A and B are shown apart, each in its own frame.
Chain A
Amino acid sequence: MTVQERAALRLQERPRREASLWRDAWRRLVRNRAAVLGLVVVALLIAVAITAPYIAPAHYAAGDAADEHTVPSWLAAVLPGNVAAYAKINNKFLLGSDFLGRDLLSRIIYGTRVSLPVGFMGAFTALIIGLVYGCISGYYGGRVDDIMMRIVDILYAFPTMLLIILLMAFFKTSFGGTPVPGTPAYTFNQINKAVDSILGLRGGGMLFIFMGIGLTAWMGMARLARGQILSVKEKEFIEASRMIGASDMRIILRHIFPNIIGPCVVAETLAIPGYINYEVFLSFIGLGVDPPTPSWGNLISEGAQALRSYPHLVIFPALALSITMFAFNFLGDGLRDALDPRMRGTS
């Protein structure tokens, strides 16, 4: 067999090997109980987000201020302190109500429509931009690599939070409000409205949060992807396909991508809790979604102020957040172990 023949043979083998690789990974994943639990919880959360209008007891903005700060009886029984002396205690709401008498459970349920997309969109933009950027940089190497990585280094030296705050302020003010049709601001505004309506929320301003987080999240991914490419690039099957005259595009897409996507997905799964946390921070400094749209971030940061008087307002949203964090962490760890048993333990 000539070298070329051998390479061709190898290339034919690739898809089969790949498929079995994924199947093996899946088998290893379902054997990991914590990871399965994580997967189930994530799937449940997605289901909750999609079916929110059907499963939530009430609309997130509906309520009567006369029912403000209701504490559910079952909770009042176990809370320390004398909640009964100042708060309404009844069973009208399973998890109690907020300052406008809105059902907290419903708001947490609708909140998944903000917090989950923030997590996924963060991961998604990071993957798209980061992968492309990292691949180009790593694959071409040399001067290109040098320049592209220096740019990442520079951007990396920005305090992330400060950059997000600046970008958010910029987006919200330049593109919010009611701009004139035909301007870029107007286009952005329409996209923003479209995003909100896809999520079934009114006036949330989600696009700007996605953009703020996405624009800073890709840098870590770019570095990771580049590192992965460098380790894959010199492998013989890449060498081989280059010999048989495959284009760069084809090599990257067909041969390199499948080999590096695993670690990248793992890294982003583990990064999702971080993005969800960003949203909490943004809410704390007042750059979260617009009211009355609920997000876990604004529920938590508002609830935390009422910790002493109405603990239910922070306990339940924080619980929802923690469960989600656990789920993504378990899932990410499990994926990592499953995708590459040797990689178990690296981050």
Chain B
Amino acid sequence: MLRDKRLFLVVAVLVTVAMVVSACGPKGPKLAQEINLNLGTEPPTLDPALATDTTSVEVDESLFLGLTDFDDETMEVIPELATEWKVSDDGLVWTFTMRKDAVWVHYDPATKKFTKKRPVTAHDVEYGVKRTLNPETASEYAYVLYIIKNAEAYNTGEITDPAEVGVKALDDWTVQFTLEQPAGYFGGIAGMWVARPMPKEPIEQFGEKWTEPGNIWSNGPFALDTWEHENRLVLVKNPHWYNAKNVSLQRINYVMVVEASTAFAMYENGELDVCGVPTTEIDRVKADPVLSKEYYEGPYLCTYYLGFDTTEPPVDNKLVRQALSYAVDRQKLVDTVLKGGQKPAKTFACPGIFGTPAEDPNFVGISYDPEKAKQLLADAGYPNGEGFPEMTYLFNTSQGHQRIAEFIQQGWKEVLGIDVVLANQEWKVYLQTIQTDPPAVWRMGWCADYPDENNWVLENFHSTKGSNRIKWSNPEFDRACEEAAATSDPAKRKELYAKAEKILCVDEAAIIPIYYYTRVVCNKPYVQRTYAALGNEHYDKWKVLAH
């Protein structure tokens, strides 16, 4: 308590002084220098070529620039390192022109000194892409770049000459990509972390340790100061970034707190400035006079869905699948179990993804209808659930998934009169199970890598080109996905994707979309922030007022 009082006194004096000083200076709010955030877990890597998870990507977004970026609000592809790009008439050749004022910097945490190394050039882009594709790099996300000509062949060892890969620096500031087939969404791919320019020098000097503080070169708005593994990570403002004069934050202090309830307690205790709200705390937060003002719910580009093994009775019957889908009261699930303002889902791809009919009023999806569900189940030969065989609903071990499973199990019992066995497996086993030998029903979530339907319907459910865990094959659906991927006309693409979604989620009910995710956070009142729907926050735009 004493400490707090003393602190309060110091703050009070500082604030007074600050007010006097600022009264003389130019008008505008006084800004604080730092922000305290929770990263959640240890980032498995800071090497963009190796990153596969949101934690690593979150940090990389502040350290490394891409050719393109996504607008926080419209989710359109916008320029970053590239100032402009041209697409050839056949849609196969993409040429990016780069800005000349981006530089690689080295930051020495011991002396707190920045060193400008050299400009970021088209050669770094070529090097970065080829490094990701090099089999020796063993990048898990390399396949995202398979749309580039010969990328797959090089990555899988079919060809060994990297020169044959369709990426080339024409000069220092121009880089050209040649694709396997036309792809309207390539603008987004070109900005993804696996395609970012990489600094050859530290990578060759330090090997796997090049991302440690003191070794790393970066080019983004922030640089790496401290990385105490499993504990904390500190970023500092990069004064040599081309837009540095508009960056307000001097320091980002990340802690790595896994336990959500601990993190939220830290927020309430003033140890964090922004924090996700655990489900069990949402009601209390909304009712609290202070916390309710700091509460925010916003869209997040992910969908929660249930998959089937469409070859296994009884769910090989589409009537059964439809019945199960109609019997899920998604709104009640959101209101009672999830509480975070999630939206009941009718489609696989969530709103905000290009091509999704999620918000199209003409798209009639499946929503809760107990009568229809009963009717469909009776039509399938199981009136009131009689004679319905034993069926397993599998989820990966987690309290959140368990709650949803229990809710849905309860609902199916109530509406359809069927008993479903719930089982859980830990994550790695779970992934293997649903890939090789899926049970009748299982859960999964999908988040956008880039905001385009191609990343959703084709990459997941195409019978040969997707992961197709539901063991499903529908020629009409496949054709719609393929045509849409190769078409550049937006209207035509939208139409095709609406058709694909309808087959997937309604006509065949090959999956049960449950809800579209939201992000539920509390921000201290002094944090002025932006929200990136894809999750890669732009901290260069954040401001923290003196507090």
Does A associate with B in a complex?
Answer: yes
- Check A291 against B425 for contact (C-beta < 8 Å): no
- Check B405 against A291 for contact (C-beta < 8 Å): yes
- Check A87 against B423 for contact (C-beta < 8 Å): no
Q: How many Å lie between the Cα of A45 and that of B419 in the bound state?
A: 30
Interface residue B283 (Cβ < 8 Å from any Cβ of A):
yes
Within 8 A of A (CB), among B169-196: none
- Check B410 against A63 for contact (C-beta < 8 Å): yes
Interface residue A336 (Cβ < 8 Å from any Cβ of B):
no
A85 to chain B: which residues have CB within 8 Å?
Answer: 284, 287-288
Bitwise, B396-413 to A at CB < 8 A (1) or not (0) is: 011100110111011000
Beta-carbon nearest neighbor of B430 in chain A: A173
Within 8 A of A (CB), among B366-416: 392, 394, 397-399, 402-403, 405-407, 409-410
Task: Please give the distance in Å from B503's CB to the nearest CB on chain A.
Answer: 29
Beta-carbon nearest neighbor of A168 in chain B: B426
Q: How many Å lie between the Cα of A309 and that of B280 in the bound state?
A: 7
Which interface residue of A65, A169, A287, A292 has the most chain B CB atoms within 10 A?
A: A65
B288 to chain A: which residues have CB within 8 Å?
Answer: 85
Chain B interface helix/strand/loop/mixed: helix
Interface residue A51 (Cβ < 8 Å from any Cβ of B):
no
B265 to chain A: which residues have CB within 8 Å?
Answer: 308
- Check B407 against A177 for contact (C-beta < 8 Å): no
- Check A99 against B283 for contact (C-beta < 8 Å): no
Beta-carbon nearest neighbor of B394 in chain A: A177
Task: Please give the distance in Å from A198's CB to the nearest CB on chain B.
Answer: 17
| Given A178-B392, A286-B397, residue A305 in contact with residue B426 (CB < 8 A) | no
- Check B283 against A203 for contact (C-beta < 8 Å): no
Task: Please give the distance in Å from B397's CB to the nearest CB on chain A.
Answer: 4
- Check A291 against B402 for contact (C-beta < 8 Å): yes
Interface residue B541 (Cβ < 8 Å from any Cβ of A):
no
- Check B280 against A68 for contact (C-beta < 8 Å): no
Interface residue B271 (Cβ < 8 Å from any Cβ of A):
no
- Check A177 against B433 for contact (C-beta < 8 Å): yes
A247 to chain B: which residues have CB within 8 Å?
Answer: none
Interface residue A100 (Cβ < 8 Å from any Cβ of B):
yes
Set B392, B399, B402: member contacting A177, Cβ < 8 A? B392
Q: How many Å lie between the Cα of A274 and that of B333 in the bound state?
A: 37
Interface residue A66 (Cβ < 8 Å from any Cβ of B):
yes
A291 to chain B: which residues have CB within 8 Å?
Answer: 402, 405-406, 422, 424
Within 8 A of B (CB), among A52-81: 61, 63, 65-66, 68-69
Bitwise, B315-349 to A at CB < 8 A (1) or not (0) is: 00000000000000000110011000000000000
Interface residue A10 (Cβ < 8 Å from any Cβ of B):
no
A302 to chain B: which residues have CB within 8 Å?
Answer: 399
| Given A68-B337, A202-B421, A286-B397, residue A292 in contact with residue B287 (CB < 8 A) | no
- Check B287 against A286 for contact (C-beta < 8 Å): no
Bitwise, B246-265 to A at CB < 8 A (1) or not (0) is: 00000000000000110001
A308 to chain B: which residues have CB within 8 Å?
Answer: 261, 265, 280-281, 284
Beta-carbon nearest neighbor of B409 in chain A: A292
B425 to chain A: which residues have CB within 8 Å?
Answer: 172-173, 176
- Check B397 against A309 for contact (C-beta < 8 Å): no
Bitwise, A155-195 to B at CB < 8 A (1) or not (0) is: 00000000000000100110011100000000000000000
Interface residue B213 (Cβ < 8 Å from any Cβ of A):
no
Chain A interface helix/strand/loop/mixed: loop
- Check A66 against B336 for contact (C-beta < 8 Å): yes
Interface residue A205 (Cβ < 8 Å from any Cβ of B):
yes
Interface residue B439 (Cβ < 8 Å from any Cβ of A):
yes
| Given A99-B337, A292-B409, residue A87 in contact with residue B332 (CB < 8 A) | no
Q: How many Å lie between the Cα of A302 and that of B426 in the bound state?
A: 17
Q: How many Å lie between the Cα of A158 and that of B405 in the bound state?
A: 35
Q: How many Å lie between the Cα of A99 and that of B405 in the bound state?
A: 12
Task: Please give the distance in Å from B522's CB to the nearest CB on chain A.
Answer: 14
Within 8 A of A (CB), among B67-98: none
B424 to chain A: which residues have CB within 8 Å?
Answer: 286, 290-291
| Given A61-B410, A177-B433, residue A100 in contact with residue B286 (CB < 8 A) | no
- Check A203 against B423 for contact (C-beta < 8 Å): yes
- Check B392 against A86 for contact (C-beta < 8 Å): no
| Given A100-B410, A308-B265, A308-B284, residue A287 in contact with residue B426 (CB < 8 A) | yes
- Check A292 against B423 for contact (C-beta < 8 Å): no
A178 to chain B: which residues have CB within 8 Å?
Answer: 392, 439
A61 to chain B: which residues have CB within 8 Å?
Answer: 406, 410
Beta-carbon nearest neighbor of B265 in chain A: A308
| Given A61-B410, A305-B261, residue A100 in contact with residue B337 (CB < 8 A) | yes
A99 to chain B: which residues have CB within 8 Å?
Answer: 280, 336-337, 403
- Check A86 against B284 for contact (C-beta < 8 Å): yes
- Check B287 against A82 for contact (C-beta < 8 Å): yes
- Check B260 against A176 for contact (C-beta < 8 Å): no
Q: How many Å lie between the Cα of A292 and that of B409 in the bound state?
A: 9
Bitwise, B131-155 to A at CB < 8 A (1) or not (0) is: 0000000000000000000000000
Interface residue A21 (Cβ < 8 Å from any Cβ of B):
no
Interface residue B429 (Cβ < 8 Å from any Cβ of A):
yes
Q: How many Å lie between the Cα of A86 and that of B433 in the bound state?
A: 40
Task: Please give the distance in Å from B195's CB to the nearest CB on chain A.
Answer: 36
Interface residue B109 (Cβ < 8 Å from any Cβ of A):
no
Interface residue A151 (Cβ < 8 Å from any Cβ of B):
no
- Check B422 against A87 for contact (C-beta < 8 Å): no
Within 8 A of A (CB), among B281-325: 281, 283-284, 286-288
- Check B284 against A203 for contact (C-beta < 8 Å): no
Beta-carbon nearest neighbor of B414 in chain A: A64
**11 cross-chain CB contacts under 8 A:** A61-B406, A69-B283, A99-B280, A99-B337, A99-B403, A100-B336, A100-B407, A172-B426, A172-B429, A305-B278, A308-B261
Would you list the 7 A-B pairs with minimal beta carbon distance, nearest first?
A: A286-B397, A86-B287, A65-B336, A306-B280, A85-B287, A86-B283, A309-B284
Chain B residues near A (Cβ < 8 Å): 260-261, 265, 278, 280-281, 283-284, 286-288, 332-333, 336-337, 392, 394, 397-399, 402-403, 405-407, 409-410, 419, 421-426, 429, 433, 437, 439
Besides A177-B392, A203-B422, A203-B423, 5 other A-B contacts (C-beta < 8 A): A68-B337, A172-B425, A286-B424, A307-B261, A308-B280
